[in-house]
Structure 1
Amino acid sequence: MTTSPEQGDPPVPTSPVPSYPVHSYPVHVDADLDPKLSRGLWLVKWLLAIPHFIVLAFLWIAFGVLSVVAFFAILITGRYPRSIFDLNVGIMRWNWRVGYYATNVLGTDRYPPFRLADVPDYPAHLEIDYPERLSRGLVLVKWWLLAFPHYLVVGIFTGAAAYAVAGADDSTDAVWAGLGLITTLVLIAAVALLFTGRYPRSIFDLLLGLNRWVMRVSAYTSLMTDRYPPFRLDMGGHESTVVDAPGARDGAGASTDPGPAHISRPSSTTPSRWTVAKVLSVVVGSFLVLMSLTLAAGALIVAAVGLAEDDGFLTSPRIDVDSATHAVISQDGRLDMGDVGSDLPDGLVGDVRVSAESVSGTPLFVGVAPTADVRRYLSGVEHATLEDVHDDHAELRTTRGDAPASPPAQETFWAAKASGADATLTWELAGGDWTVVVMNEDGSAGVSARVATGVKVSGLDESAAVVLVLAGLVLLVGIVLVAIGVLTARPRRHRT
């Protein structure tokens, strides 16, 4: 209700509302805690959110590709393309809503909408102020060098730091170490909700502060602002913005500013022109760009393999084989080629070459034979089986026994064999179960050799060229699709 001055009263002097400087970081994260949360729904929210996770996986691919485009745009023009900015903010906003619902807070039971734009009545919001100008030089270092201290802090919040220290493997220790502060607090809140029906408000306020910190760093490292993220934990569902009133002092000279005030902010983005078709064009194009880079990397690896060929053979590094037994054989009846040729197409693999260089100078015997024949020959004979290779040293498993009845060269079952201080055999690869045997030529105990295996490959250069051409075509299609989506989503400039 308002009152008007009575007739005859002197007019009340009015003055314009002063414009005070607002100290606010350009990334605004707000959320409201649902007053009545289900006790047990949080147990399946992650399952219900799987469709969002699938969509976001493709959207984040587009986010990465567009961020690279924005990097070069900022480097050249000093501006972040507005259409790309709006889409990337939309992806971060979508991710925040899903995290608020299912993983990072559990602060609402309302299912997140499949939308990039802000949903005013949804309890979680994210806005990022669009920067009219950005530093061309700062874009080169802020996302890695300048942000490194924040990476350490965020690593503690998310568990990435502890996970890296524990080791990025599937061990239980690494999984538990990677929980992070945010996940731990969410679990505590979830257990409290399960047993009491109430979400602890203090944990909610802290979780919002932690997530706010993470998203400020994400926006900064994604090149969306030049303002360095503050090392400050702004807790609570709504940001408090400090408003300074110059000259507002009491008689003692102390400030009469009541402290932080909540400031309502307008949306930081222009009305989105991103339709489903345009977003789909960018997502598919980004996926094709990523696929083309993968194909190109594979082609370069194939080309490098071709350059590494030795007389047409792709040869593994030599390994030291040292055993006090009478023979050393490949593991479990398999012709173990190591990493050599394991990923090559069948049509490219030809002959196999095995070479053994004597360390002691004793003439060696190298042979390839059917596994059944090798087992019969070495039955009751002391020999060693190759179990594994560590760096350049073979790990062997010893089978006890006696000396062989005859030297290996006298046997007739070998498919290929060679003898000498530096023995090398070449064998035409064939189907079946085969075993490689390395012995002293006279069958005596004490085998000491440096062994290498190789496969003959053909057509690597041609294959690399075909893959590179295919990668170029896929890259071209991907760039066109991304460009169509970005250019058609640019906001129109209004002429005055």
Structure 2
Amino acid sequence: MATTAIHSSVAPHPVNVHVEPQLDHRDRLSVGIRIVLALPHLILVGGPLFLGWSWSSREAAGGYEWSTGGGALGAVAVVIAIIAWFAILFTGTYPEGLRQLAEYYLRWRVRAVAYLLLLRDEYPPFGEGRYPVTCEIAHVDGPRDRLAVGFRVILAIPHLVALWVLGIAVGVTTVVAWFAILLTGRFPAQLYTFAVGVLQWTTRVEAWLLLLHDGSPPFALH
């Protein structure tokens, strides 16, 4: 069946995810044991929201711990974002080497998450490499918006709440798609489009929190 690339957004934005669709003729064995196959990527760059988000009670502290499951490189990316936050506030620029490393992590993560969401059957490369899922990140030209950078985490709260809900929803639809593929060899088209949209929105918010751009992500899947 002839297919064309799904572009999960038509509005101009500095961060865009593109997925070459694979609805039919799926590798049922790969899909069946996908979580096992993806473990190395999960450890390094984390997985989808429904796998990464966790609440754990901390009785001694009387509170809760919230983790986004970004993997080992995700922890490095958080440190990079903190350093970049200070650098942008004081100098107005994002250190080039740190920016490249943050982009490297995000592109790798997008490919791994797409694989875990069953959007493709090809095994994603470790690091950079050709893959039918791509993440394009436009470089920021000119001075940065220091005020928006300074309050970035606060500004992102509405997106994080929305993505928490969508993360649960895409977890459910991925399980449904898993059964559908095993039984019919096909990923339901509407569920596929939904998963791509959630991946797009999530990636834009993660790039925004990593301070890779100042454009507020739209509240939209497509």
TM-score normalised over the length of structure 1: 0.36
Partner of 1:126: 135
Q: How far has the Cα of 1:203 moved from its partner?
A: 1.1
Say yes or no: does 1:32 pair with 2:20: yes
Partner of 2:188: 200
Supply the AA of the counterpart residue of 1:53.
L
Give the number of equivalent residue pairs: 186
Partner of 2:122: 110
Q: How far has the Cα of 1:82 moved from its partner?
A: 1.9
Query: Alignment partner for residue 86 of structure 2, among 72, 78, 92?
Result: 72
Say yes or no: does 1:135 pair with 2:145: yes
Counterparts of 1:23 and 1:44, CA distance in 2:
36
Counterparts of 1:76 and 1:69, CA distance in 2:
11
**Preserved CA contact (<8 Å) 2:32 2:182:** no
1:107-186 counterparts in 2 under 5 A? 107-115=119-127, 117=128, 119-120=129-130, 122-132=131-141, 133-143=143-153, 145-158=154-167, 180-186=168-174
The structure showing larger relative contact order (alpha-carbon pairs under 8 Å, at least 6 residues apart) is 2
Partner of 1:45: 34
SS at match of 1:203: helix
Identity among equivalent positions (%) equals 32
Cα displacement string for residues 311-355 of structure 1 (whole angstroms, at most 9, x for unaligned residues): xxxxxxxxxxxxxxxxxxxxxxxxxxxxxxxxxxxxxxxxxxxxx
Counterparts of 1:97 and 1:23, CA distance in 2:
22
Query: Alignment partner for residue 109 of structure 2, among 72, 95, 103?
Result: 95
Cα displacement string for residues 388-417 of structure 1 (whole angstroms, at most 9, x for unaligned residues): xxxxxxxxxxxxxxxxxxxxxxxxxxxxxx
Q: How far has the Cα of 1:183 moved from its partner?
A: 0.7
SS at match of 1:137: helix
1:308-387 counterparts in 2 under 5 A? none
1:144-293 counterparts in 2 under 5 A? 145-158=154-167, 180-234=168-222
Counterparts of 2:119 and 2:169, CA distance in 1:
17
Partner of 2:100: 86
Q: How far has the Cα of 1:23 moved from its partner?
A: 4.5
Supply the AA of the counterpart residue of 1:50.
L
**Preserved CA contact (<8 Å) 1:80 1:131:** no
Counterparts of 1:233 and 1:98, CA distance in 2:
19
RMSD of the alignment, in Å? 1.6
Supply the AA of the counterpart residue of 1:42.
V
**Preserved CA contact (<8 Å) 1:52 1:98:** yes
More strand by share: 1
1:394-413 counterparts in 2 under 5 A? none
Q: How far has the Cα of 1:53 moved from its partner?
A: 2.3
Q: How far has the Cα of 1:33 moved from its partner?
A: 2.2
SS at match of 2:28: coil
More helix by share: 2
Counterparts of 1:53 and 1:214, CA distance in 2:
16
Q: How far has the Cα of 1:41 moved from its partner?
A: 2.1
Classify 1:40/1:60 alpha carbon distance in 2 versus 1 (closer, same or farther; 3 Å). Answer: same
Counterparts of 2:72 and 2:219, CA distance in 1:
32
Cα displacement string for residues 88-107 of structure 1 (whole angstroms, at most 9, x for unaligned residues): 111111111111112xx202
Cα displacement string for residues 217-243 of structure 1 (whole angstroms, at most 9, x for unaligned residues): 111122111111111220xxxxxxxxx
TM-score normalised over the length of structure 2: 0.78
